[in-house]
Amino acid sequence: MIEKTPQKDQVSTPLDDKDLAILRLLQQNARSTVREIAAAVHLSPTPVHERIKRMEEEGVIRQYAALVDHTKVRKGLMVICYVSLKEHNKQSGAKFIRTIHNLHEVIECYNISGEYDFMLKVVAENMDAYYDFHVNKLSQVENMGRLQSIFVMGIIKQTHQLVN
């Protein structure tokens, strides 16, 4: 039903212990230099650079990013929205996904199983801004069925570290 965002080869890439150690270090600080990483994993800089390049080319490392505290950039309200579509076909699902990509308040979107079709992570400056987004944007999306908003009271754990 739903057209997924294309991803590079979804087959698992074989990674050895050195690759995993490099990934751990990059997850902790993506600004680490190749020389710093090489010293930490006991390799010379050239093979570390080649390993990082390979993992980038194979899509293991998708991008480097700065993690921003949402409260310090006037996005103090975080909301989890569960969405059900009225129609379930490839065209309407793809149209919903295209629309969501253009809503800058939506910072994450997952196609999920169960009672709802999608789970959105939404940030807004405050309740008034979220209300405006909800009424004037999200609920106006074509094919919108049910929509449930859950307000995040506090963040207990938030990490992007996949390799431990």
Q: Is the pLDDT of residue 3 over 60?
A: no
pLDDT, tens digit, 9 for 90 and up, residues 97-146 = 999 999 999 999 999 999 999 999 999 999 999 999 999 999 999 999 99
Write down the architecture of domain 70-151 according to CATH.
Answer: 2-Layer Sandwich (3.30)
Q: Decide if domain 17-57 falls under CATH 1.10.10.10.
A: yes
Q: Classify residue 100 by burial, with Cβ atoms within 10 Å: 0-12, 13-18, 19+.
A: middle
Decide: 55 and 9 in contact? Cβ < 8 Å.
Answer: no
In this prediction the pTM is 0.82
Cα–Cα distances in angstroms (integers) from residue 45 to residues 39, 51, 55, 65, 70, in the given order? 8, 10, 15, 22, 35
Domain boundaries, the chain: 17-57, 70-151
What is the overall mean pLDDT for the chain?
Answer: 92
- pLDDT at 7 (0 to 100): 53
Cα–chain center distance at 72: 19
- pLDDT average, residue stretch 13-23: 94
